[in-house]
Amino acid sequence: MSSASQLSMTDAVFLETRFQILSGVYLPGSTFDREEVASVYSCSPRLILDVFNALKAEGYVDVPRRGT
């Protein structure tokens, strides 16, 4: 598989989280802890913030000013 066809880590976490939202793993009103999600995926909290912001832009989550 070439590197051009591989998903970035951000894309992979975004797609997986979106699938979990759509399939009911996360219900309306659920909260995400950025540090906890980052530890699940072994990535930086900044990457998770980028994912949450992308999910917010598409209307899947609300991101308050402080915390997630």
Distance CA 56, CA 59 (A): 5
Measured distance between the N- and C-terminal CA atoms of the chain, rounded to whole angstroms: 35
pLDDT of 3 strictly over 70:
no
**How many CB atoms within 10 Å of residue 68?**
19
- Provide the pLDDT for residue 48: 93
Give residues with Cβ within 8 angstroms of 6, minimum separation 6: none
**pLDDT tens track for 53-68:** 999 999 999 877 765 5
Number of H helices, E strands in the chain: 3, 0
pLDDT at 33: 87
The per-residue pLDDT for range 12-32, each reduced to its tens digit, is 999 999 999 999 998 888 888
pTM: 0.78
